[in-house]
Structure 1
Amino acid sequence: MFKIVELFSGDFEEKVFIHSENLKAILIPKESASRPVENPRDVVEKMLNMPVDSKSLELLLSEDSRVSIVVDDATRQTPTKFILKILLKKLEKIRVKKKNIVMQIANGLHRLTTLEEKKKIFGMEILEKFEVHDNDTKNDQYQYFGETSKGTPLFFNKRVTSADLIVTIGMIKSHSFAGFTGGAKSILQGISNEKTVLSNHRFEFIEYPNGILGDAEKSMVRQDMEEAAKKLPVFIINVVLNDKNQIIDVVAGDVIGAHRKGVEAFKKMAEVFLKEPMDLVVVEGGYPGSINFYQALFGCNVVLTTPKPVLKENGIIILFAQCKEGMGSDIIEELFTTYRDPKKVLKYLKASSPLPEQWAAQFLASFLLRARLIVITSNTLLKDKLKNFGITCFNSTQEAIDNFIAENEKINVAVIKNPDFLIPNLE
């Protein structure tokens, strides 16, 4: 008896038939914990009035206060426009002057935001009232706040740090090496300069298990981020979304305390467990994975860098990802073209100063040493490049699965749908 599994990545789709004796699990977010709140506006307002481990905005601000509002860039699905309208109404009630409000995008080292992206994030009503700024590491000025206990030099955008209160709007989901998004991540890396971000993203912090998915306490990157964020007067507003981008929870208040409340809500939806490790796991690329290989690669973390990974050592990962924009990372191409051997790539990165996007090459090298990576993509040019790196590409997921079942008819298979909203672990 066969079970049908439908895979989606951007415009890339495939129906796969897997024998029920081989298919042990199809992992999806828990439906019972994924239900959207009935009235999101009421929930946001309630959280602003009853923040976690923090005074309310009315007690933190006065009519003469300066406020920096820091929001996610276009790489997140955060309902920024919706939350901003509620926040601005609250600030107006407190009589905070419009001229004392700064709008800042927390794009960190990401590219600058386009006008169309700003329209999508803020809406025209807000764009017409406020000037919106990117974190432009080449042209902005940064204020030095010393070092963290781990030696990260802290340079934060002066435009933001001049405020009496920094309100960050973000979303909480799992993250490949910071445990989760949201919280302090809006500060480091959101409004930091390159030196700060690269120091925080150094090789040893990212290497598993120091860099871990789904554990905020054990992630060295997050520990460093949160120590950094505590240098500033930060008040967070973070949402938890389900895989349909509906709000299932809202938290507000302290950059650590409120964040952990949101993490709890996300984990109730995202944590799933298997009784035994799998021989083969199919990972669906989802929306980020439909863009390029760099983004899709992070989907592999859900089977390799969680607290108790579900893939056997030297098991098989089939990554189903459209990758219509190709590789998406110069550093992957440069390092794997130069060194070929994943061990040599890791040796180079470990001995070198941190580089932008090195974490992608580091993850790929680590994955190739711990698993057999198979990529299913519609991008022919990318296939040729990946083959040169020693990565196998099949024409379809069905062909790949049939090939491995032919080698071992008792192979255990699991399918991970939408990895951004899952934290799979062994029981």
Structure 2
Amino acid sequence: MTNLVKVPQLAWHNPSELELPVPDGWQIEVSNIAGGDRSELTDTQIKHALTNLIASPPIREIARGKKEVVIIFDDFSRITRVSKIVPYILEELAEAGISDSNIRFIAANGTHGAMDRSQFAQKLGESVMGRFAIYNHNPFYNCTYVGTTSRGTEVRINSEYVQCDFRIAIGSIIPHPFAVFSGGCKMILPGIASLDTIVHNHDIPRNDAERINHDINPVHLDMDEAADLAGLDVNVDCILNRWGDTVEIFAGDPKQSHAAGVKAAKSHYLTKRTMNKDIVIVNTYARATEYTSGLNATFPSVKQDGGDIVLICNSPMGQAQHYILGPCGKLIASLRNIKTSIPSHVNHIIVYMEYPELSSLQYFEDSPKVTMMTEWKDVIKVLRDIHGDDANVAVYPNADIQRFEDN
């Protein structure tokens, strides 16, 4: 077979392109994000974005005279290359007269599992490790009440963060199933909020229009209010290409920088949806540790009289621990334990994992339609037995961050 499907893999483990042979007679249609091939920002461009803030004076000015600084950053389930951002933030803080001993970093991991030292080093850069204190957020303890939102969310925030008088957040904007887009205020809630605060926020009901419109999405608006209550001085949002490289930065006033970033993200991540396919190949890369994130938006590509999906998830780390939504055992569940439902027109979902993790299948409803395979040749054999050598195939190389007009 000379017909190849090529998808990005291993975001934190030497990113590379995975080449998967498929039958030569298969008709392949690849749908990439609009900005997937944009070039990574140069160091000069990164510095310019971080020293020319949106609707805000420079950090070197607004941080002057502050006593304690906290920098929160998104966790290892996101591929934001924070290490490329941090040096210029630290330069600005030094210009403001802030000593290293008064700066700390906190991973905004929400209710995800804690990061370890090796992950901190990859995320922030090895040079940061011996110079600054770095902590994981703990959603179970040491969170301080800062107020209640108009939607009744009692906001409790990491107490170390609350006690600091200058606060910076570094993350990325990508499509998100609850808030429509990540980044901005989402770094505060759920990033450094307590478990009960996060649960209340995630339980806010949304109608169909609110689920796809960031401006009226009540979960996002509630997060926005929480960030106002908690306080955030500088927000840094990155837009990412198909490899996770930063191609644009929106930094400055939290609300205005995030709004500008979301406006850009709407077109940057836009993807053509293909329809009426026998097979849909759904690759996860940016959020491979939350591998069902790309499925719901791609279900409509399967032909209505029946077809199959291959969900590719190659994550040496496995799936991120999620204390609200994820599995906790065979007989017990987490607080919400949301499972992916499989539409009737999808006949099979083959989860292709070169790093198998059986428990990850618990993110699906119990169904004989779902199987896990670790050898690509086995995947092809099953699909070939069903569809033969003449199938129409859709490929979504970055399904976990792709955005369609109707989602």
After TM superposition, the score normalised by the length of structure 1 is 0.77
Which residue of structure 2 aligns with residue 160 of structure 1? 161
Residue number in structure 1 paired with 2:369 = 391
Question: 1:394 Cα deviation (Å)?
Answer: 7.8
Q: Kindly indicate whether residue 123 of structure 2 is the aligned counterpart of residue 121 of structure 1.
A: yes
Q: What letter matches 1:15 in structure 2?
A: P
Deviates more, 1:47-56 or 1:166-175: 47-56
Shift of 1:160: 0.5
8 Å CA contact 1:319–1:373 kept in 2: the answer is no
Question: What residue is the counterpart of 1:16 in the other structure?
Answer: 22
The within-5 A match list for 1:117-156 is: 117-139=119-141, 141-156=142-157
| 1:30 and 2:34 are equivalent in the alignment | yes
Cα displacement (A) at 1:383: 10
Alpha-carbon distance, 1:249 to partner: 0.6
Letter in 2 for 1:5: V
Stretches of structure 1 lacking an aligned partner (at least 5 in a row) = 339-348, 350-354
Kept in 1, the 8 Å contact 2:66–2:166? The answer is: no
TM superposition shift of 1:192: 0.5
Residue of structure 2 in register with 1:195 after alignment? 196
Secondary structure at 1:129's aligned position in 2?
coil
| 1:335–1:96 distance in 2 versus 1, CA, 3 Å | closer
Q: How has the CA–CA distance of structure 1 residues 189 and 315 changed in structure 2, closer, same or farther, with 3 Å as cutoff?
A: farther
- Give distance in 1, aligned partners of 2:366 and 2:112: 28
Deviation at 1:36, TM superposition (A): 2.1
1:273 paired to 2:272 = yes
Q: CA deviation at 1:263?
A: 2.8
The Cα shift of 1:134 comes to: 1.3
Deviates more, 1:5-14 or 1:219-228: 5-14
- The aligned counterpart of 2:220 is 222
Q: TM-score, normalised by structure 2?
A: 0.80
- Does the CA-based 8 Å contact 1:5-1:16 persist in structure 2? yes
Q: What secondary structure, in the 3-state scheme, does the structure 2 residue paired with 1:419 have?
A: coil
Assess, with a 3 A threshold, how the Cα gap between structure 1 residues 226 and 63 changes in structure 2: closer, same or farther.
Answer: same
Asked if the contact 1:63/1:97 (under 8 Å) is kept, the reply is no
2:404 is matched with: 424
Q: Per the alignment, in what secondary structure is the counterpart of residue 423 of structure 1?
A: coil
Residues 313 and 352 of structure 2 are in contact (CA less than 8 Å); yes or no, is this contact kept in structure 1?
yes
Contact 1:337 1:389 survives alignment (8 Å): no
* 65-74 or 248-257, which deviates more: 65-74
Question: 194-203 or 56-65, which moves further after superposition?
Answer: 56-65
1:181 aligns with 2:179: no
C-alpha distance in structure 1 between counterparts of 2:211 and 2:179, whole Å? 6
Equivalent pair of 2:70/2:164 in contact (CA under 8 Å): yes
* Pairing partner for 2:310 from 304, 310, 318: 318
Conservation of the 8 A alpha-carbon contact between 2:276 and 2:301: yes
State yes or no: 1:106 paired with 2:86.
Answer: no
Provide closer, same or farther for how the CA distance between residues 313 and 242 of structure 1 changes in structure 2, counting only shifts above 3 A: same
Counterpart of 1:300 in structure 2 is: 295
State, as a whole percentage, how many aligned pairs show the same letter. Answer: 22
| Structure 2, gaps ≥5 residues long | 11-15
1:191 match: secondary structure: coil
- Output the CA distance in 1 between the equivalents of 2:155 and 2:127: 34
Q: How does 1:223-372 map to 2 (within 5 A)?
A: 223-234=221-232, 235-274=234-273, 276=275, 278=277, 280-286=279-285, 288-289=287-288, 295-304=290-299, 310=301, 316=307, 317-322=309-314, 355-356=334-335, 358-359=337-338, 361=339, 364-365=340-341, 367-368=342-343, 371-372=346-347
Equivalent in the alignment of 1:343: none
